[in-house]
Amino acid sequence: MMQTAHSMRGYMRIVIATIAVCLAVNLIAVNGNFRESYFIPVNAQSSQSSNTGTMNSLSLPDLFSKVQNSVVQVSDVVRTINGEGTRLGSGFVYDNEGHIITNNHVVQTDSQNAQFDVTFSDGNAYTARLVGSDPYSDLAVLKLQDVPPNKLVPLSIANSSEIRVGDTVIAIGNPFGLAGSMTTGIVSGLARILPPSSENPSGNSVPLSFPIPNIIQTDAAINPGNSGGPLLNSKGEVVGINSAIFSTTGVYSGVGFAIPSDTINKIVPSLIRTGTFQHPYLGVVGQNITPSLAKQLGLHEERGFLITGITPGGPADKYGLREARQVTSDTGRAAIAGGDIILKINNQDVRKIDDVLSYLEKQTNVGDTVHLTISRNGAIQEVDVVLDARPSPNDIQNVATIQPNLGNSQQSPNDNNDGGNSNDDKPYDQCARIAGNDLCGFFFGR
């Protein structure tokens, strides 16, 4: 999965071969010409659902009638290279206090007093201000101003950990500015990883180097303008928030992605209280143990992930974890030396780096101590690490950008080491360089 962007406020269009994950936001020029926009990234006291089965399922017309007044269109005027345009996205009513949930990339701005127009299904529009946002989960919260209480019909939030592949889901939003559109499909995958954007949409040149874990995959049609709208179960409860698509064209191709409701429940209350959310942070980057890497390291089993980079001053650095280094073998080829391999976190097996990211996001908080089982030079060791808060996008030291390409057996014949033009690379290699072999291998069937 990868993403392309077409943009405003420092957003750039980046086409990576023939693949793209597009954040589903819309841009319409003021002069009336339609323009698609692809963005790199793409419940305070809400009631909880105890299951996501078919009991109490609604017919699709009844479901739409139940939720249509809770789904809104979010818009603001932005400046582009072609003049002013209107950025469109979706959102939904979170509580009776007037909070609206949407995607961070729908409302991302450098303004300290950003305001947005929120339009309900009956056409009535109200001003809302941004009260909190989190680029690392792509979530944001708006607060409506001077809205009549009877307009606020919060959606119930289900437990996304209970959904299963094959469950029916419904997406409601404003694709291409077409308000109140509903599409249906199924959950076609779980525990996906949405890759980080290679460009910070705020205009900051420092990349957002953390993928978003535990993503729901669906074949319900999601298009530009759907971003921030709810993904619902058959009872009309929110199981996710539509965020991105996998596409070669920038529009729906059967693979959409939603941030799960469990992530909403964990992060949104903090956004309302403080405006931010602190993600637990280990401070490592790594590479999954592939067959070729296992052979290089003399391992008998392909599991865990090799630490290839450690953030200076981060938790892993403070507690003595070690990173691999790239050396030259006797034959003159690049080889791996040293480096801890994480095998377990709090006694949970680690098969790949995604397992660590998902566990940290779902099960831990800043200040928690995690117990790591590592392999160091062939010996099993136990290490306790206290988690710090993840650095902000403005402060983060992106060690991933200087991470050596260790053990990657999927290099293109056109790859070289002199900084040559990568546009000649094969699509898989360009995908792997940004999103990793596991993710791109899934889409390319490798």
Active site residues: 105, 138, 227
The three-state DSSP-derived secondary structure of the chain is CCCCCCCCCCCCCCCECCEEEEEEEEEEECCCCEEEEEECCCCCCCCECCCCCCCCCCCHHHHHHHHHHHEEEEEEEEEECCEEEEEEEEEEECCCCCEEEECHHHHCCCCCCCEEEEECCCCCEEEEEEEEEECCCCEEEEEECCCCHHHCCCCCECCHHHCCCCCEEEEEECHHHCCCEEEEEEEEEEEEEECCCCCCCCCCCCCCCCCEEEEEEECCCCCCCCCCCEEECCCCCEEEEEEEEEECCCCCCCEEEEEEHHHHHHHHHHHHHHCCCCCEECCEEEEECCHHHHHHHCCCCCCCEEEEEECCCCHHHHCCCCCCEEEECCCCCEEEECCCEEEEECCEECCCHHHHHHHHHHHCCCCCEEEEEEEECCEEEEEEEECEECCCCCCCCCHHHHCCCCCCCCCCCCCCCCCCCHHHCCHHHHHHHHHCHHHHHHHHCC
- Which amino acid belongs to residue 126? Y
Task: Note whether 115 and 105 are within 8 A (CB).
Answer: no
Q: Give CA separation, 109 vs 130, 204, 222, in Å.
A: 9, 11, 24
Length of the chain: 446
